[in-house]
Structure 1
């Protein structure tokens, strides 16, 4: 108990949808045994109130025939087996409907508490289930103590209610010993209905309170620590460090491709060292395309590559700044910069045609 307290106190986060779904797949659901008891008691009350008279009448008729004609039944050989088979089928037909109704209520008791699920986790062999030490801990755990107290309280309340219902009928019960059997059955049926009604009223309150308790306890068990929340987020969304590394690798590859395009550029426009924009154009293209751009250290690298590969470098600070801010890689330049860029490219191409451009 003392070992569980610090762990539970650190669980401050509500359980995620994934955590609750994983718990359900393992068969870990909020299930109150008192709710199951209430449904079975309700089914029994319905059977007793509505079906008991008819069932009793059928059994009485069958037994009356049996007792009244006992001397006519053969008890030797195969006839003995046939006699008991017929009797068993008669009794089975009488009790089949009550059994079916109880089965229905047993299934309903589980369906109202949680959706249908199929899991082999609860029946999977585990050492902790057969470990004497683990069994000893469960026997003297807080949960076992709570269940023991709940059982005592339930027995005390139900016993008090039954006493309250039956005590006024004490004189009637005394007279039943000498009354006609049919009267006894009628009196027993009436008193039984009162007992069922009173018990159901009490168990309804107990089942409702126990379901809320079990549900709250299950919810607290599924709560998560801050670290568990982070780990689950990493598992579902990806580790932020890994994602950052992937972004960095993509950025590095994109920069490498960009730098590889500088030697084929037509001109590099600079500002003069803070910005650099490399443009490519030939007469088959509709407009110049930005193949590389960068600021500061990247701009210096673009200038160096342009110099190494004899790419013209033109210093035009206003145009360099404007292109750096408005054009993306692999995009054509905006319309508003056509005239300024055309003048620069025209100047460079005229120099190349005259053979007058040489990298410094």
Structure 2
């Protein structure tokens, strides 16, 4: 009796089929920390690229707004033009920042696990509405890991923020002593530097979390030895099904082979066991082709079809065995059998001419055909040895 797979320990690595089934269900390794880090680092890089342009635009907008006259402020048409200019100046750097951030968010979320969309994952599941399952998720191992990550992330970010504020405290205080435009430029530069360093601190969490998510995903998909066997059996097919398929394939191949017999030039037989059908087309091949062969019942069927379509049947046990064991279907006979087969074809041609009254009766074929020693076999297919 087979051991229940649920009682076995899952020690085997998941197969490619198991991984694909999990992907189809939307189960892929994901790291929220990696996505968050990519978004924040992307924002920092976007600030480096577009921050100065945005700061200059804001400074220009502030200058133009503070220089408006009372008449312009109360003129609706004038204010519409002002807002249009503001949108034109600020819109381009803001748009570049948003697009860069969107790309960073997309890449960060597919970097681990790749792109995956599953209707099965999107479909509502009733077990998610079960309070017991909710408590298990709240107090399970995964919840503990997430809590540890949250505490670690807060601690790392808080520590790095404190260190940065301590290190750049004098520079932050010095901003207020400069001119307005200098303060804006200095603030943007310092903000870029502090924000970038603060975001990079999250990479420490990502370095730990991403490999853990891959390991945890692989652990959840591990299989028992019985599951491996069952999957292999399902993939390869049940023995009885495979046997039936092979049987049907043999029947189809045999039917195709039998359909070639009416076009054969001659069928060479061993009166009790073997039949081989040969066809010679000198314009397409340099030697005769074996179009059909068989033993016992198949051999008898070949002879039956040959007689039905008036294909000459020649008895030559030695040659029939040699062709059967040395030549594959649809292949030319070996060079060593050219002479023997040529004699058979010549005899068949002369016999047809005699039957039409156009020649003499051909001389019967010799009992021993000119067959090389290495191609001679007995009735069991074993090579014949000469003393």
**2:369 — aligned with what?**
none
**Rounded Cα–Cα distance in structure 1 between residues aligned with 2:171 and 2:354:** 126
Q: Identify the match of residue 338 of structure 1 among 338, 341, 366.
A: 341
Give SS of 1:163's match: helix
Q: Does 1:126 align with 2:129?
A: no
Give the 3 Å change call, closer, same or farther, for CA 265–193 of structure 1 in structure 2. closer
1:103 maps to 2:99: yes
What is the deviation of 1:162? 1.2
Unaligned stretches of 5+ residues in structure 1:
355-360
1:308–1:137 CA distance, 2 compared to 1 (3 A):
same
Give the corresponding residue for 2:157.
158
Aligned to 2:323: 323
In terms of fraction of residues, the more helix-rich structure is 1
Between the aligned partners of 1:332 and 1:46, the Cα distance in structure 2 is: 72
Alpha carbons 2:269, 2:276 under 8 Å: kept: yes
C-alpha deviation, 1:161, in angstroms: 1.3
> 2:248: which partner in 1?
246
SS in 2 for 1:41: helix
How many angstroms does 1:157 deviate by? 0.9
* Distance in 2 (alpha carbons) for counterparts of 1:331 and 1:192: 80
Superposed, 1:124-203 pairs within 5 Å as 124-128=122-126, 131-133=129-131, 138-168=137-167, 182=180, 192-203=191-202
Whole-angstrom CA distance in 2 between matches of 1:265 and 1:61? 98
User: Offset at 1:315?
Assistant: 5.7
Contact 1:43 1:102 in 2 (8 A): no
The secondary structure found in structure 2 opposite 1:294 is strand
- On the 8 A contact 1:267/1:280 being kept in 2, the answer is no
Which residue of 1 is the match for residue 295 of structure 2?
Answer: 295
Change over 3 Å in CA distance of 1:315–1:110 after alignment to 2: same
* Distance apart, 1:177 and its partner CA: 11
Cα displacement (A) at 1:159: 0.8
Moved more, 58-67 or 79-88: 79-88
Structure 1 residues 46 and 58: alpha-carbon distance in aligned structure 2, compared to 1, 3 A threshold: same
- TM-score normalised by length of structure 1: 0.62
CA contact (8 A) 2:42 2:101 kept: yes
TM-score (norm 2): 0.59
Superposition pairs for residues 62-77 of structure 1, below 5 Å? 62-63=61-62, 65-67=64-66, 69=68, 71-75=70-74
Asked whether the 8 Å contact 2:266–2:277 carries over to 1, the reply is yes
Contact 1:267 1:311 in 2 (8 A): yes
Deviations 1:32-80 (A, max 9, x none): 33333333323433455565565445435544554565744555xxx46
Of the candidates 81, 86, 89, which is equivalent to residue 90 of structure 1?
Answer: 86
Contact map agreement 2:269 2:316 (CA 8 A) in 1: yes
| Mapped contact 1:59–1:91 kept (Cα < 8 A) | no
Gap change, CA 1:346 and 1:143, over 3 Å in 2: same
8 A Cα contact 1:266 1:278, kept in partner:
yes
Query: For the aligned residues, what is the CA RMSD?
Result: 5.5
Q: 2-side partners of 1:140 and 1:119: how far apart?
A: 28
